[in-house]
Structure 1
Amino acid sequence: MQDSSRPVTGYPVQNLNGCAPPPTGYAYSYAHVNPNPHPYYPTPPPQDPRSTFLRRLLSAIAVVLIIFGFILFIIWIVLRPQLPDFSIQSLSLSNFNAANQRVNATWNAQIQVSNPNKKLSISYGEVVSSVFHKDYFLSETRIGPFVQRTRSAGAVGASYSMVDSFVDGDVMDEMNEERRAGEMKFSLKVSADVAFRYGGWRGRRRFLTVWCDDVAVTASSGKMIGGPQRCKVY
Structure 2
Amino acid sequence: MQDSSRPVTGYPVQNLNGCAPTPTGYAYARVNPITHPYYPAPPAQDPRSTFLCCLLAAAAVFFIIFGTILFIIWLVLRPQLPDFSIQSLSLYNFYAANQRVNATWNAQIHISNPNKKLSISYGEVVSSVFHKDYLSETRIGPFVQSTRSSGAVGASYSMVDSFVDGEVVDEMNEERRGGEMKFNLKMLVDLAFRYGGWRGRRRFLTVWCDDVSVTISSGKITSGPKSAAFIEIIVSSNFCSFFNMF
Q: Please state which band the TM-score falls in when normalised by the shorter chain.
A: 0.7 to 0.9
Question: How far is the alpha carbon of 1:231 from its aligned partner?
Answer: 1.3
Partner of 1:47: 47
| Matching of residue 230 in structure 1 with residue 227 in structure 2 | yes
Question: How far is the alpha carbon of 1:103 from its aligned partner?
Answer: 0.7
Pick the structure with greater CA Rg. 1
Partner of 2:206: 209
Partner of 1:110: 108
Structure 2 distance, partners of 1:33, 1:88, is 92
- Structure 1's 220 and 68: CA in aligned 2 closer, same or farther, altered over 3 A? same
Q: Percent identity?
A: 73
Equivalenced residue count is 216
Question: How far is the alpha carbon of 1:32 from its aligned partner?
Answer: 4.8
Partner of 1:190: 187
The residue correspondences of 1:28-177 to structure 2 (distance < 5 A) are: 30-34=27-31, 39=36, 41=41, 44=44, 47-48=47-48, 56-134=54-132, 136-177=133-174
- Structure 1's 67 and 156: CA in aligned 2 closer, same or farther, altered over 3 A? same
Taking only aligned residues, the RMSD between alpha carbons, in angstroms, comes to 3.3
Structure 1 distance, partners of 2:216, 2:33, is 106
Structure 2 SS opposite 1:119? coil
Structure 1 distance, partners of 2:167, 2:33, is 97
- Structure 1's 46 and 173: CA in aligned 2 closer, same or farther, altered over 3 A? closer
Structure 2 SS opposite 1:179? helix
Question: How far is the alpha carbon of 1:96 from its aligned partner?
Answer: 0.8
Structure 2 residues without counterparts, runs of 5 or longer: 6-13, 233-246
The amino acid across from 2:81 in the alignment is L
Partner of 1:25: none
Structure 2 distance, partners of 1:158, 1:52, is 62
Q: Which deviates more from structure 2 when the two are superposed, residues 92-101 or residues 199-208? A: 199-208
Structure 2 SS opposite 1:112? strand
| 1:180 corresponds to which of 172, 177, 180 | 177
Can you list the C-alpha shifts for 1:90-123, whole angstroms capped at 9, x where unaligned?
0001111111101111111000100011111111
- TM-score, with normalisation over the residues of structure 1? 0.80
The amino acid across from 2:135 in the alignment is L
Question: How far is the alpha carbon of 1:29 from its aligned partner?
Answer: 6.9
- Structure 1's 157 and 38: CA in aligned 2 closer, same or farther, altered over 3 A? closer
Can you list the C-alpha shifts for 1:175-199, whole angstroms capped at 9, x where unaligned?
0000001000001011111111111
Structure 1 SS opposite 2:95? strand
Structure 2 distance, partners of 1:129, 1:37, is 78
Structure 1 distance, partners of 2:117, 2:157, is 34
